[in-house]
Amino acid sequence: MVVGDFPIETDTLVIGAGPGGYVAAIRAAQLGQKVTIVEKGSLGGVCLNVGCIPSKALISAGHRYVEAKESEDIGIKAENVTLDFSKVQAWKESVVKKLTGGVEGLLKGNKVEIVKGEAYFVDRNTVRIINENSAQTYKFKNAIIATGSRPIEIPSIKFSERVIDSTGALSLQEVPKKMVIIGGGVIGIELGTAYANFGTEIVIIEGDKEILPGFEKQMTALVKRALKKKGNVEIHTSALAKGVEETKDGVKVTFEAKGKEQVVEADYCLVTVGRKPNTDELGLEQVGVEIDEKGYIKIDKQCRTNISNIYAIGDIVPGPSLAHKASYEGKIAAEAISGKPSEIDYNGIPVIVFSEPELASVGYTEQQAKDEGIDIVAAKFPFAANGRALSLNATDGFVKLITRKEDGLVIGAQIAGVSASDMIAELGLAIEAGMTAEDIALTIHGHPTLGEIAMEAAELALGTPIHIINK
């Protein structure tokens, strides 16, 4: 410790101010704790700054652009639709700025001390927070680690000016003529869709048999069909990226598919093959926090590590990299520190893709339930039989409700279709509240709304559908 560096004491120290960290800090403060949050970058973390929010802003802008150009089938024709991409980017940044400013206001409003810098553990009750101007020691009773994740770099395909990660793709100042995307998972499909809508020719290289591995094939097939229908998207599955050569003004990407080696030239190569936890520069070895072989921190049902006063949440613990998972875990950890019996239950956490159409899943899938030997009813109701979907000219998709056969308990749901990201909340609530198909069917849904599709699926599960023939 340097001379004059007197330790500052706090009850709970939160490391990282992303959607996990800032939520944990606010909840801990609400429960009476003196809280300090430390962040080396911008408040809001990856999600608000270079992830969830800016990507959805670009996706939204892309939809507006396509709708302006392609609404002739409903009697609307626009002449000379133009795209000012610099203005799109400026609007996207304004959305980000509003939200990050809001986070700062919420933290200050809850009397959370905000410290800029990087935290390094000294022992189980002490960290050093270092920034370009100073170094300060903090003593804490409990700590919550919420340092998030970063894109995985393929050893043979290094990031560069033309080989970019998701952050680079979100900050491009021009619409590329052509882009190769290595990885057809959530991030690759979302950003690929956005740029395809802006006019970029997209080539997707996915190692799995299907894009969006983890989702049911009947869901991903809709996305695949919609992408191919655009006319400027090429998809290669069961394909292996072998290397990228950077040229003067672009890239040459070599990959193998169906036993044949191919080379594609493009302006950029976007690599989206997953993310890795930021656990390697915290000094966790000083404290003895257990980490698995992939760098994830092991936790119990209250997000507690093997060191009883140190907790971990978000992308640095096992499970999907989801902002809402991190926020949920942040609340659990803060409440556990306050002595509450809060515990993790991941069954009600939805997984969402902002593709075309949108995909959302919560609880058990049909296959997962069968694999566990649960006797189920899988009731699938199409968007095409819903008045609101027809009036939106968005009839691709379905709601599938997974219920336990013996008592009708809702244990899972999958939605493919417009606004699936919003609709899944009702079915997540049904799982969380222990509701049955009958409970959903008896809930009066407004007409005409997309929400009615959940009600119709519930009636189908009961064997008494109105707007579809029961087979």
Average pLDDT over residues 293-298: 97
Tokens 């409700």 belong to 401
Can you point out the beta strands (E) in 267-338? 268-271, 275-277, 310-312
Per-residue pLDDT at 58 exceeds 50 = yes
Per-residue pLDDT at 335 exceeds 80 = yes
Average pLDDT over residues 338-345: 97
Per-residue pLDDT at 215 exceeds 70 = yes
At 404-451, the pLDDT tens digits run: 999 999 999 999 999 999 999 999 999 999 999 999 999 999 999 999
- Helix, strand, or coil (residue 58): helix
357-461, what's its fold?
Answer: Enolase-like; domain 1 (3.30.390)
**Structure confidence at residue 468 (pLDDT):** 95
Give percent of the chain with pLDDT exceeding 70: 99
Structure tokens at 173: 């100042």
Can you point out the beta strands (E) in 68-111? none
Average pLDDT over residues 345-355: 96
Per-residue pLDDT at 2 exceeds 70 = no
Q: Which of 63, 324, 447, 467 is catalytic?
A: 447
In angstroms, what CA-CA distances link 273 with 12, 41, 164, 182, 186?
Answer: 35, 24, 12, 7, 10
| DSSP state for residue 248 in the 8-state scheme | S
In angstroms, what CA-CA distances link 407 with 92, 362, 370?
Answer: 47, 19, 16
Residue 228's pLDDT band (cuts 50, 70, 90)? very high
Per-residue pLDDT at 4 exceeds 50 = no
**Structure confidence at residue 1 (pLDDT):** 42
Domains 8-151+276-346 and 163-273 share a fold: yes
Active site residue 447: yes
The answer, yes or no, to whether the previous bond of 448 is cis (omega within 30 of 0) is yes
Domain 163-273 has CATH 3.40.50.2020: no
In angstroms, what CA-CA distances link 298 with 68, 270, 306, 307, 345?
Answer: 49, 31, 7, 10, 16
Per-residue pLDDT at 207 exceeds 90 = yes
Per-residue pLDDT at 3 exceeds 50 = no
**Structure confidence at residue 471 (pLDDT):** 78
For the chain, the domains span 8-151+276-346, 163-273, 357-461
32 burial class (0-12, 13-18, 19+ CB within 10 angstroms)? exposed
| DSSP state for residue 213 in the 8-state scheme | B
Per-residue pLDDT at 268 exceeds 90 = yes
Domain 8-151+276-346 has CATH 3.40.50.720: no
Average pLDDT over residues 105-111: 98
